[in-house]
Each structure stands twice: as structure tokens, then as C-alpha cells.
Structure 1
């Protein structure tokens, strides 16, 4: 069964301006690299390298679908600012330094939401084995407000729409973005049908400052939110430990029908906004691990999204290409295509690296051991706090 990537070029208009750290080039360059590697083809046509991911058309999410997560008052606020950015509402998180207002912001954000809804729908209803909504993963938006570069919460909307249309559907949401997936967690904090797992840099050091080990849900959802706050400089070994000791057993115990994975690339050690130590090889290993978990637990049904990633021209495009390679179960070529390297050089005026993978991160002596010990302590606390892991 195929892998799909719902996409529209209009998504690149989700742009807060040239000085904002969230650049659309992070996913447009990723798509160019995926094409150059032979991992993508348009529509239902076969790729030159055999079975590869198909780009599929996408429509904007309707208001009724956005309303599964966001209030109508907030949606109206976004629509007003979309027509006239001067009519922003800082009270609702629009027009702030993080999330400036811009023309067509509603239409563009709704299109990204529509892509993630379609990505999850195709997997749930059997039209695709797995899917990637590369411009999605906007996990900070709340019911009543924008937050952290996120206007509409596309992962939450997709999950809410599918659980509405398919009563009894069990969804596991895994978030490996460096920032806590607070918006998605908050939407489903009282739900026993949606398990949320967020692996992030500790809120002591990074926005949004939430995601403690003891934050495990409320009411019927108690125990169905897991948070793994990592120390700065957490490296590949730390992530392997979390994957093995938290993510895999929690998913196996929960027994979801489908997995949604927010695969932000801002945990890379080259990211300018965060302080973690993941390499591209480590990121690729996580992606492969998530694919394997999906195979073992829910028949391979995996809907992945993008997310954060502020090494926009080099690190993030390579990470998301490795993510797609893992979903396609192909071994990536270690060398970057010369065509893509030339394109990057024209875009940023710098030479692009020669290799797809980069394992150059090495903390100074003694630091790695200390960070790994801190991570092991966090993992043990998570295991004690979660009924799924006892």
C-alpha cells in the first residue's frame, strides 16, 4: 500500500516575514531534496525509482472541522486578521512577535490543516499505509488562541475529526519536537482514547515551559499523557533510551488503531533555537523506530507531520527527507544530490554539505555521560508516573 504526501504550493505562503525564524524554505527545500533523491512522484504516476511516495492534492479544512478544536470566536478572529492584518488580536495570540498577522493567514493555515486531516484520513480509512503532512505539526495552537508560530493546531484537528467520524478510534500521538506539544496535549488531556507522548527539551530551559513528568492527564484521561522533559545536550543515546523504555512499551500497552507522529527537527544539534544534541543519524533512527512500532502495533498505520526546525536550509530538509526514507523503507544514499546542493547554494549563498547524514556532534569530556544519566533519571520517573509503563 502506498505512502502519500498531501501538499499544495500555497502552503509556502505560511510566512511570518523574512526575519522570522520559521521559514517556509524548510519544507520547500525538503520537497526538492525528496524529489532529487527519487522519493517523490506527482499524483499516481510511478516514480523513476519504483514505488515511492505520491504527492496528492489537498483542500483547506472547513470551519466545521476547525471547530472540533478551536472556538468559533477564535476562528473568526483569524479570519478578520487574514483580511486585514491590522485587525489582529494579541489577546488571542495573533499579531505578536511569535505569530504575526499576515494576509491570507486563515486560508493558508486551514490548507495545512486540511493536508493533515487528509493524511490521517487516508491512513485510517485504508487508502494509504502511511502519510506525511510536511508543512503540518503546528502543535502549540490552543482552542482560543495562537501560540508559538502556530495558528491552527492541525494534528489536533486531524485527530478530532477522525475520532468524530470513526467513534471508538484509538489514536497514539507521539511528539519528538524540541518544544513540548502543549496544544495537542491540552486538547486531549481528559480523553482516554488519545494517548499523547511528548519528548522535548525541559520547560526549565525552553518555550512553552510546560510538559512536566507529573503532567499525566485529568479525569478519564488520567494516565494518557506522558511527558519526557530532556536536559540540554541530550544526544542520540538519550533518544534511543526514551524510544526503547517509554515510547515503545507505552504504545504497545495502549494498543492504538493508528499513530500520529509530530516529527519536528528542532532537536538537531544545529538548530538555532534549541539546546539539544540529536544528529541526523539519530533522527533517522527515531524515524525508523516509529515505523517499526507502527508495524508491530497497528499494522503500519502511521501519519507523520513536520513541526519545528530552524536550521531551515540545511538540517531540517535533510531530516525530513530521512523521515520519508524511513517511511518508504529505503536506505538513503549517503551523498546529497549535486542538483540540490547547487540549489541550496543559490538560495543562501553558502556551500551545502556533501552528505545526507551528519554525526559530528560530540560534547566535551564528561558532559555526555552526565546528560545520559540525567535522561535515565527522567525516564525512570516517567515509568513510575505512568500506569501504562508499570
Structure 2
């Protein structure tokens, strides 16, 4: 059966859980799906369960010794000092029972999305359980054990021989994915994130452009703290269009962390729902312009799981399915179901109020700085175009 879009989900994805009070909370997956169901915006036949990734698939990116360490950790058999070398058992990435199984399922969910799209069974696929972009070859980092996007890109290269454009709009730099393909000219990474001056992981500078044959295929736009919608969107739209035209991908993979929002507790940006309306729109357009529609989207960060993430992530599915119902009031049934669980008042509407926060004093200065950053990032592409047209 051919679908325009599929949604990868099962309750088992909620087993990726560090602890009760850890900021990374996969309940947001359930909140998002429930919002879509309340709107009658998704049907059961569009929902596809994830499968676990095989060890062979994990080894496309991850060191076999590391995978083994994760397995032992999840069974309570990894010595503490060994764990620390692998980034396991830290404050960010604590050990939890069966963590290998839970993490493999997140990776396999992204691979299920890949196979749906690359085999032509669907034009677009959304797996909100994925997007764990800080995982390294042999180390857990920043709430991420295995890096599903890196595994998926390598899997696409080996199985489908396709060129991949990876676009990361999480407030944190997509470091794990960037370093996985830093010397590979067939993978282009574009990350727009809050500057690493005050934010984990501290990387993602303009001059991180790739190395060897991959030089010129890594793009980073570190925007200033307190960046607002218009400046953020200008950087995103300009860079995505110019990078896509330069790279001409076969498939687009987007990572959709929802933590650039003003209400996110871990970051310092000042965007609103306005950017989450626009992010998937442009990805959709670029996928049809360059890739015959092939677009795989994953989740990522997003730590205000009540007020921000469900609305932001629902917008991706609504865009994929060309559903324009995301205006005005949120479904009252959804609000009534969840308000008794939420520690904060739930939003009542799709869009944020205009007075969500007081005016930012350095607005023009921040905007100007972001424009200069963008120009630096895109200079090599523009320079090349100019030379070619002479």
C-alpha cells in the first residue's frame, strides 16, 4: 500500500527513559500523537511500529565495544569506571535497565522511516522518537546513547546509494551527525543552533566546514542567544535554499528538536510557534523540488513537553499530510485529558500570544550579528556561483 506519509510509533518508544525527573521525557511522543488523534488528523493505517535495529546496523556507526558496553550497562554489569569512558552513567546520560533494547528501537524506528521512503512506499515519514544527534561512534553524550540519524544516513548510503542532506534545527549543535560524515562529500550537514558560547555541546562554529573530500559540505549557523523568530527564519530559509541548490540531494533528513522556543528550560533563544509552523513547510518544499518528495523527519530536543513540543511536532505531520487545521483553538478534549497531569497551564491555541515575553533590548544588534554569521557561512557557495557565472 502506498502512503503519502507514515508516522512511526509504538508505546514501547517510551521505554527510553533515564529517570523520573530527567529532562528528556518521551511522554512528549504520546502527547503529540494524542493531539493529532483528537484533531482526526491521523488514521491508524498511517501509523507504523518501529523495529529494533540489528547489531550489524548499529555497527555502521557505533564501535562494537561500545554497543557491548551499552548492553552490559542495561543489565547492571558494567563497571562504573568503564561506563564513564563511554559516557554512560553520567548526569546527562544515566544508565537505566534494558537501555540497549530501548535505544536500538529508536534507531530502528528511524530505519523503518528510511525504508518506507526510499523503497517508495511513502513520500514522507515522521519518527519523533529519533533525532538523537549527540551520540558518537564510541560514546554517549547529551541524552543520546545511539545516534539514529547517523546510522540512518550510513544505511541510506549503503543500501540505496543516495546523497543525503541533513538539516538540524535543534537549539543544540548536531555534533554527532556532523563528525560522523565530516570527510564525506556525499552527505551535507546543515545545523542552525544557539551559539555554543553558553550552550552544550559548545561546537558548531562557522569554520567547521568539513575535512578532506568532505570540506565544504558541513554548514553551521550559530545564532546569538535571545534570537527571535524573524532573524531565525531568515537564517533558516536562506541557508536551506542555498545549501539545497548547491548540494542537490537525493533525500532530505530533518532533525526537529523543538527547544529553540522561548519557553524551553534548557536554552536561551526567543522563538515562538511561528518558526515551528515554517520549519516543516520549507523542508516539504525542498524535498519536492530536489528529491521527488523524499523527506524523512525525526524528533530531537524539546524540554517543555506540555506547552511547546506537542504543538511543534504536530505541525510536522500536518505539513506532511497537507492538513491546514493548525489554526485557532487546540482540541478541548486534548486539553481536558492532559491538564490534570501537566505541572503548567496548557496552551489553548496553536499560536503563541504576541506578548509571550517582554521586548528584547538588543534585538537589532542580535539580528545584525546573525546576518553577518549567515553571510560568512554561505560565502563559499556564493563565491563559487559568482566565479562560475563570470
Q: Is the 8 A contact 2:327 2:351 kept in 1?
A: no
| Partner residue, 2:303 | 310
Structure 1, unaligned runs of 5 or more: 45-53
Q: CA deviation at 1:367?
A: 2.2
Aligned length: 379
Take 1:123 and 1:90, find their aligned partners in 2: how far apart are those partners? 37
Q: Relative to structure 1, is the Cα distance of residues 310 and 389 closer, same or farther in structure 2, using a 3 angstrom cutoff?
A: farther
Picking from 349, 366, 378, the partner of 2:373 is: 378
Partner of 1:51: none
CA distance in 2, matches of 1:351, 1:149: 26
Q: Which moved more, 1:322-331 or 1:269-278?
A: 322-331
Contact conserved, 1:223 with 1:388, CA < 8 A, in 2? Answer: no
CA offsets per residue over residues 97-118 of structure 1, 9 Å max, x none? 0000000110011001000011
* Aligned-residue offset at 1:350: 4.3
Q: The residue matched to 2:297 in structure 1 has which SS?
A: strand
Alignment counterpart, residue 27 of structure 1, candidates 26, 29, 47: 29
1:275 match: secondary structure: coil
Kindly tell me: are residues 148 and 134 of structure 1, through their superposed partners in 2, closer, same or farther at Cα, counting changes over 3 Å?
same
- Structure 2 contact 166–253 (Cα < 8 Å) conserved: yes
- Name the residue aligned to 1:49: none
SS of corresponding position for 1:278: coil
Taking a change above 3 Å as real, the CA distance of residues 234 and 16 of structure 1, as seen in their structure-2 partners, is same
* TM-score, normalization by structure 2: 0.94
Q: Secondary structure at the match of 1:227?
A: strand
Q: Which string of whole-angstrom CA distances, capped at 9 and with x for unpartnered residues, describes residues 304-332 of structure 1?
A: 00000000122111110112111111111
Cα gap change, 1:389 to 1:96, in 2 (>3 Å): farther
Equivalent residue number for residue 367 of structure 1: 362
Q: 1:18 aligns with which of 6, 17, 20?
A: 20
Contact 2:53 2:107 in 1 (8 A): yes
Alignment CA distance shift 1:177-1:140 (3 Å): same
For residue 51 of structure 2, what is the aligned residue in structure 1? 59
Cα distance in structure 2, aligned partners of 1:221 and 1:351: 47
Name the TM-score, length of structure 1 as normaliser.
0.94
Contact map agreement 2:62 2:136 (CA 8 A) in 1: yes
Distance of aligned partners of 1:165 and 1:334 in 2 relative to their CA distance in 1, 3 Å threshold? same
Q: Does 1:4 align with 2:3?
A: no
What CA deviation, in whole Å up to 9, does each residue of 1:44-72 have, x standing for no partner?
3xxxxxxxxx1112210000000000000
Partner of 1:84: 76
Q: Is the contact between residue 116 and residue 154 of structure 1 (CA under 8 Å) also seen in structure 2?
A: yes
Which residue of 330, 335, 341 maps to 2:323? 330
The corresponding residue for 2:232 is 239
Per the TM alignment, residue 155 of structure 1 is displaced from its structure 2 partner at its CA by 0.6
CA deviations over 1:29-56 (Å, ceiling 9, x no partner): 11111111222221x3xxxxxxxxx111
**Could you say what secondary structure the match of 1:304 adopts?**
strand
Contact kept in structure 2, 1:249 and 1:389, CA below 8 Å: no
Match of 1:199 among 182, 192, 195: 192
Note closer, same or farther for the CA distance 1:249–1:349 as it changes in structure 2 (3 Å cut).
Answer: closer
Corresponding residue SS for 1:26: helix
Say which SS state the counterpart of residue 234 (structure 1) adopts: coil
1:173-252 matches, within 5 Å, as 173-252=166-245
**Are 2:192 and 2:236, in contact at CA under 8 Å, matched by a contact in 1?**
no
Q: In the superposition, relative to structure 1, how do residues 151 and 365 fare at CA in structure 2: closer, same or farther (>3 Å)? A: closer
Taking the aligned partners of 2:338 and 2:121, their CA distance within structure 1 comes to 34
Does 1:148 find its partner at 2:142?
yes
Deviations 1:246-297 (A, max 9, x none): 1111112211110000010000111000001111122111211111111111
CA spacing shift, 1:338–1:76, aligned 2, 3 Å: same
CA separation of 1:165/1:35 partners in 2, compared to 1, >3 Å: closer, same or farther?
A: same
Alignment correspondent of 2:388: none
Distance across 1 between alignment mates of 2:343 and 2:384? 49
